[in-house]
């Protein structure tokens, strides 16, 4: 129930909402870290364009993720905005548990929608952004505040892939489909899984790099002649059975965020927690190759860095084929099956992966494209915000 909502003002000097700011409410799916990373990239791009923007974040993604990713002012509202899929592991979903939770989560409690609508109105929000939370779209209807849906897929599309095996999934699809269609504006970000009429389609959206690759490698105590491979399963932890086999590849350093409770160096293996002193996009940029789950933010950050990608995706995930096709068309990479990844046989591909060349991304970061779109849409340069046709 909405009585569980908690509000935090992070203890950072720049976080206080500045006088005369333009607040934006952002509803963010907590499924993994990919949606939060994309939202953080958009927030930072908007703040670079105009520091008058400030943000109210509605999500259950840990507040530390935004403290580490953002310099823009924000207030964090801990509220369950989305369910997505319940997963047993990075590569295996639990559809029965997903259905059980959806049955208690949907349809949204009208009192929750009313409460949140009052909250965003009280904050004088000029706009509601949703990635890819349908709750934010429901709130925007009641609050009468324009909404922008930012997506490369929506949950009704994902759930459609399970409708044949779970008849009760269809009622949730019927509920969500018109909600996603109700957005005032739709932004699709490549790689797009299902193309819909959109007001803007962008290149991949990723957080900006901060530190030079050489500085990151020095902090990791890596010699110049040692190759670095980043292993990641995104925001969903996995158990790596191949750990003991990594020591055999002595000329390669393997860096593994999310694989340890603290940062620990074991000869050529560096285990790290999800939250560490190392900014994840900088780890990607400092790598000679990345191996791991094909998730949105991982793909987007690798696209921006241009590093080779040993991509692992479950054939059961409906978006896998679309993401894989984009990697093969636009990026430098090698496909790795789930079983070879989990049993460690993928290690035989490391030399081939490291021989691949880096690709230069084409065009603007999608976050900058979205920021430009929103600024034109809102007429943010005017003293009084006024919605404009573009």
How far apart, in whole angstroms, are the C-alpha atoms of residue 129 and residue 147? 6
Average pLDDT over residues 314-336: 92
Domains of the chain with bracketed CATH: 2-207+366-378 (3.40.50.2000), 213-355 (3.40.50.2000)
302-314: per-residue pLDDT in tens? Answer: 999 999 999 998 8
Sign (positive/negative) of CA torsion 95, 104, 2, 141?
A: positive
137-149: per-residue pLDDT in tens? Answer: 999 999 999 999 9
How far apart, in whole angstroms, are the C-alpha atoms of residue 156 and residue 170? 9
Cβ atoms of 105 and 86 closer than 8 Å: no
Annotate the chain with three-state secondary structure. Answer: CHHHCEEECCCCCCCCCCCCCEEEEEEECCCCCHHHHHHHHHHHHHHHHCCCEEEEEEECCCHHHHHHHCCCCEEEEECCCCCCCCEEECCEECHHHHHHHHHHHCCCCHHHHHHHHHHHHHCCCCEEEEEECHHHHHHHHHHCCCEEEEECCCHHHHHHCCCCCCCCHHHHHHHHHHHHHCCCEEEEECCCCCCCCCCEEECCCCCCCCCCHHHHHHHCCCCCCCEEEEEECCCCCCCCCCHHHHCCCCCEEEEEECCCCCCEEECCEEEECCCCCCCHHHHHHHCCEEEEECCHHHHHHHHHHCCCEEEECCCCCCCHHHHHHHHHHHCCEEEECHHHHHHCHHHHHHHHHHHCCCCCCCCCCHHHHHHHHHHHHHCCCCCCCCCCCC
In this prediction, residue 238 carries a pLDDT of 58
Question: Under 8 Å CB-to-CB from 291, ≥6 apart: which residues?
Answer: 229, 230, 231, 232, 309, 310, 312, 336, 341, 346, 353
Average pLDDT over residues 321-345: 94
Average pLDDT over residues 217-222: 93
How far apart, in whole angstroms, are the C-alpha atoms of residue 101 and residue 169? 11
- Would you say the pTM of this structure is higher than 0.75? yes
170-198: per-residue pLDDT in tens? Answer: 999 999 999 999 999 999 999 999 999 99
Q: What percent of the chain has pLDDT over 70?
A: 91
How far is C-alpha 256 from the chain's CA centre? 18
How far is C-alpha 2 from the chain's CA centre? 25
């Amino acid at each position: 129930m909405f009585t569980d909502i908690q509000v935090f003002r992070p203890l950072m000097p720049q976080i206080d909402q500045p006088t005369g700011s333009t607040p934006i409410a952002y509803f963010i799916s907590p499924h993994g870290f990919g949606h939060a990373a994309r939202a953080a990239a958009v927030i930072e791009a908007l703040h670079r364009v105009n520091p008058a923007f400030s943000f109210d974040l509605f999500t259950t993604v840990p507040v530390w993720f935004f403290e580490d990713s953002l310099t823009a002012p924000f207030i964090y509202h801990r509220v369950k905005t989305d369910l997505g899929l319940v997963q047993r592991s990075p590569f295996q979903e639990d559809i029965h548990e997903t259905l059980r939770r959806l049955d208690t989560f949907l349809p949204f409690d009208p009192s929750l929608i009313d409460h949140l609508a009052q909250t965003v109105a009280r904050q004088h929000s000029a706009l509601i952004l949703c990635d890819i939370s349908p709750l934010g779209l429901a709130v925007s209807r009641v609050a009468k505040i324009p909404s922008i849906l930012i997506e490369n897929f929506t949950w009704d599309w994902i759930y459609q892939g399970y409708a044949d095996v779970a008849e009760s999934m269809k009622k949730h699809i019927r509920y969500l489909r018109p909600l996603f269609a109700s957005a005032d504006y739709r932004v699709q970000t490549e790689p797009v899984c299902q193309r819909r009429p959109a007001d803007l389609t962008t290149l991949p959206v990723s957080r900006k790099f901060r530190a030079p690759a050489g500085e990151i490698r020095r902090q990791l105590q890596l010699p110049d002649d040692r190759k670095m491979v980043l292993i990641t399963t995104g925001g969903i932890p996995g158990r790596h059975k191949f750990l003991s086999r990594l020591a055999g590849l002595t000329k390669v350093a393997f860096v593994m965020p999310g694989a340890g409770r603290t940062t620990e160096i074991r000869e050529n293996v560096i285990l790290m927690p999800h939250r560490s002193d190392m900014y994840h996009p900088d780890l990607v940029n400092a790598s000679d190759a990345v191996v791991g789950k094909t998730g949105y933010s991982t793909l987007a950050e690798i696209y921006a860095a241009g590093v080779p990608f040993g991509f692992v995706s479950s054939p059961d995930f409906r978006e896998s084929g679309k993401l894989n096709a984009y990697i093969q068309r636009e990026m430098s990479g090698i496909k790795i099956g789930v079983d070879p990844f989990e049993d460690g046989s993928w290690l035989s591909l490391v030399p081939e992966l490291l021989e691949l060349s880096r690709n230069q991304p084409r065009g603007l970061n999608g976050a900058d494209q979205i920021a430009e779109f929103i600024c034109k849409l809102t007429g943010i340069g005017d003293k009084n915000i006024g919605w404009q046709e573009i």
